[in-house]
Amino acid sequence: MAYNEQKIKLCTRNYIPSIGFGTSLVIGNECIEVIKKAIQVGYRHIDTASAYKNEIEIGQAIKSSNINREELFITSKVWKDSMGYESTLKSFENSLKNLQLEYIDLFLIHWPKNNDKKLNVDTWKALEKIYKEGKAKNIGVSNFLKHHLEIILDECEIQPSVNQIEFHPGLIRKETIDFCKEKNIVVEAWAPLGKGKMLQNETLQNIAKKYNKSTAQLCLKWCLQNEVIPLPKSENEDRMRQNLELFDFEINKEDMNTINNMEFFAGSDMEPNSFN
């Protein structure tokens, strides 16, 4: 089955491609070339953020790609220093301008503000306004744990469509994942390869060999089988392609359980409860 046929329905009834392309730390002219290459390879779901400082370059790459806008799914995020109702609206308009788009497919709160319920809610109200105006087709959050989500759900008129969190073998955040599934919030995985650290794990390497796949492909397929959208990043064209080639094999139940039960062994150390 072709990659473009793999899409997931959001609570808005819109569809999101089941694999995205991450762009953190990809900047400047290199970013333009990487995004152009990713689109050529087949990615239609591009994830960025104001904090990544690459929206302008991504906008240029999109414009030169000659792909119909409707085929692309573009995500951006409001950074923590721009939270609040008016500041979020300004941040969104800046992202829209930088990306040279008439609308953004998904706009997220990048991080929750711990111990400031009002700021989180005011920021969400701004996202609701953006959504109602059709400037963002879907709205959601990033790095929100269960208790952060409950604050939004208690106050929202429009619920989040997506929660993007760090997710990879050894870091599942089961309570948050289960809560999102219960509330029909689609989960996305940033750093699904643990910034490359997953690839050095012997257990994962051995399981991948059974399927004649790379360790990266195993980790990304594991995300998909856990109903989580992976957002891998690579500047290498061959690896870009490999990261899309996930639909010709299934990880069996025993191997899924083995990976699901792995202890934490690597990660970003960016904890939503303390990162502000």
Q: Quick: pLDDT tens for 208-231.
A: 999 999 999 999 999 999 999 999
- CB neighbours of residue 93 within 10 Å: 12
Q: Which residue has the higher pLDDT, 77 or 267?
A: 77
Q: Which two tokens stand for residue 219?
A: 């980790």
Q: Which amino acid is at 98?
A: N
Rounded Cα distance between 226 and 187, Å, is 10
Active-site residue among 15, 52, 85, 131?
52
CA 263 vs CA 145, 201, 260: distances in Å: 19, 12, 9
Asked if 3 is an active-site residue, the reply is: no
What is the residue extent of each domain of the chain? 17-193+228-234
In the chain, the N- to C-terminal Cα span, in Å, equals 42
Cβ atoms of residues 110 and 143 within 8 Å: yes
What is the distance between the alpha carbons of residues 203 and 197, in angstroms, rounded to a whole number? 13
Residue 28 to residue 33: CA distance in whole angstroms = 9
CA–CA distance, 274 with 258 (Å, rounded to integer): 30
Q: Where are the alpha helices (DSSP H) in 170-232?
A: 174-182, 202-210, 215-225
What is the pLDDT at residue 4?
44
- The pLDDT value given to residue 272: 86
Q: Given pLDDT bands bounded at 50, 70 and 90, which one contains residue 240?
A: very high
pLDDT value, residue 276? 64
Instruction: For 164-197, give the DSSP string.
Output: EEE-BTTB--HHHHHHHHHTT-EEEEESTTGGGG
- What residue type is assigned to position 201 of the chain? N
The pLDDT score that the predictor gives to residue 244 is 96
Q: CB under 8 Å to 188, separation ≥6 — which residues?
A: 20, 47, 162, 163, 164, 165, 228, 229, 230, 231
Q: In the predicted model, what is the mean pLDDT of residues 18-22? A: 97
Mean pLDDT, the chain, integer = 95
Please give the structure tokens belonging to residue 37.
Answer: 């290459």
Closest by alpha carbon to 234, among 86, 35, 1?
A: 35
Share above pLDDT 90 across residues of the chain, in percent, rounded to a whole number:
92
CATH number of 17-193+228-234: 3.20.20.100
In Å, how far from its chain's centre is CA 125?
Answer: 21
Q: Give the pLDDT score at 267.
A: 87
Q: Which residue is associated with the tokens 């990261």?
A: 243
What pTM value is reported for the model?
0.96
**Per-residue confidence (pLDDT) for residue 270, from 0 to 100:** 85
Question: What pLDDT shows up at residue 127?
Answer: 98
pLDDT value for 186 = 98
pLDDT at 195 over 90: no
Name the band, by pLDDT with cuts 50, 70 and 90, for residue 5.
low
- What's residue 54's pLDDT? 98
pLDDT tens-digit readout, 44-79:
999 999 999 999 999 999 999 989 999 999 999 999
Between the alpha carbon of residue 205 and those of residues 201, 209, 245, the distances in Å are: 6, 6, 17
Q: Averaged over 138-165, what is the pLDDT?
A: 97
- 186: which strand partners? 162
